[in-house]
Chain A
Amino acid sequence: MSDKTNPPEGPEEDEPRVLAAEYALGLLPNDERVAFEARMAEDQALRDEVAAWDATFAELIDDVEEVPPSPQLRKRLEARLFGARRPSIWQQVWPYAVGGIAAAVVLWFAATSGVLVTDDEAVRADLVAELAATPDGDGLDLRANVDTTRGAVQVLRSAGDPPEGRVFELWLIAGNNAPVSLGLLDGDGDTVIDLPQDLLASLPGAVLAISDEPPGGSPTGAPTGAVRAAGPLTAS
């Protein structure tokens, strides 16, 4: 059915107040609505009239029953408004870069006092990193030993698994450079990954980070999942 009505008749024909009420109710046929909006743009009194009708009609809402929306709606809304941008990898790892230095000092003390013995003879660590779990880390406990002579990194995982259907990927973040993938961690236990020669010079002071990724690793070449653990490489 068309929304078209004959032009209003009678003394109310030019009554802008009635048009304002019809506008507030959304009753005006399209052409009349467009014409009214043009008038309203020029006329503060008309805008006030519409606002007064809106306020008056809004009082009717007291009769409408309140119904809580589903709890998921708030989460979807917050994800849409605030969750679109994942924090940059630096925002995620910097607290661990700072905290890691203290851990590295403790580790250095433990290593030099003979408390700690590296359990893999093949890797003679000259750089180490304690990878502290991030809030997404869920109990992860990881240590990385780097043998720059051999050009390899060994990652020891004593606790924590990737989420169902995901894998852990190891990243190197040197200075302000974009994260470089070093490879995927094995399903369980220790992983030894060979390091490209050209990366070796940038290792001291760089940060190692673990993200969770789809099987086969990040499809983009940059971390796509949450960073789950991170820590700086320091001399052992």
Chain B
Amino acid sequence: MTPQEEVERLIARVAMGDRAAFTKLYDRTSAKLFGVCLRVLNDRAEAEEVLQEVFVTVWNKADTYRVNGYSPMTWLITITRNRAVDRRRALKRPPEPIDTADLLPDGKPGPEASAVAASDARRITQCLDELPRARAHLVRRAYLDGDSYADLAEATGVNLNTIRTWLRRSLIALRECLSR
């Protein structure tokens, strides 16, 4: 059984109210999901609070995730990431600054990025590496750190509308690359 299949089987049993399966699911996935919370919130106590809410949701909603066509890990990661981002925004944490030197679009992926892309089977990283490095960085910040447009504008000192235009163009390019 692949890890993916195992998580899927555990969620199916959790949906039937199986507490032992819930404990196993927690043991199998909590370190990964806690890492996600910690990355967004950068605060152990807040991250644990969010992780607890996530698993309460998992216990209560395990029977519904399939309806929306999510794989089990995508479902768990998406709930966790979105809850952590909601929490971060409620706390109004200021964004980490982004060095403006990093933002000058050089038009090409750096040689480093290309080497990484060659050894990385993930479509998202391959396609991000086709973007100018600074633009790819903004997409990563938006997803992994949960920065809003306002956060990214504050972090870079770039005008809000410019940031949005950059992001949208990057997303269009990503979408095009992903569908190739």
Contact = CB atoms under 8 A, between A and B. Distances in A.
A67 interface: yes
B7 interface: no
A119 interface: no
B151 to A, nearest CB: 8
Grouping DSSP codes into helix (H, G, I), strand (E, B) and loop, the B interface class, with mixed when no group exceeds half, is helix
Contact of B26 (A29, A54, A67, A74): A74
B65 to A, nearest CB: 11
A124 interface: no
A1 B73 contact: no
A27 B149 contact: yes
Contact of B148 (A3, A54, A65): A3
B69 A51 contact: yes
A43 B44 CA distance: 39
Interface in B132-156: 139-140, 142-144, 146, 148-150, 153-154
Given A27-B148, A59-B123, A12 B168 contact: yes
A7 B96 CA distance: 27
Given A51-B69, A55-B71, A61-B32, A73 B48 contact: yes
Contact of A77 (B26, B31, B47): B26
A38 to B, nearest CB: 17
A70 interface: yes
B178 A70 contact: no
A5 B149 contact: yes
Contact of B56 (A3, A57, A77): A77
A22 B149 CA distance: 10
A60 B143 contact: yes
Interface hub of A2, A26, A27, A51 (most chain B Cβ within 10 A)? A27
Given A8-B165, A66-B35, A1 B78 contact: no
A interface, size bucket: 35 or more
B19 A77 contact: no
A8 B44 CA distance: 37
A85 interface: no
A9 to B, nearest CB: 8
B4 interface: no
B117 interface: no
Contact of B35 (A48, A60, A65, A77): A65
Contacts of A73: 30, 48, 51-52
A47 B140 contact: no
Contacts of A68: 30-31, 34
Given A27-B149, A58-B77, A64-B36, A5 B124 contact: no
Interface stretch (A13-21, A128-136, A164-172, A183-191): A13-21
18 contacts: A3-B148, A5-B149, A18-B171, A18-B175, A25-B139, A26-B142, A27-B164, A55-B74, A59-B122, A59-B124, A60-B125, A61-B32, A61-B77, A64-B39, A67-B34, A68-B34, A74-B23, A78-B23
Q: What 3 pairs across the A-B complex have the smallest Cβ distances?
A: A66-B31, A21-B171, A58-B77
Interface of B: 19, 22-23, 26, 30-32, 34-36, 38-39, 44, 47-48, 51-52, 55-56, 59, 68-71, 73-74, 77-78, 81-82, 85, 122-125, 139-140, 142-144, 146, 148-150, 153-154, 160-161, 164-165, 167-169, 171-172, 174-175, 178
Interface of A: 1-6, 8-9, 12, 15, 17-18, 21-22, 25-27, 29, 47-48, 51, 54-70, 73-74, 76-78, 80-82
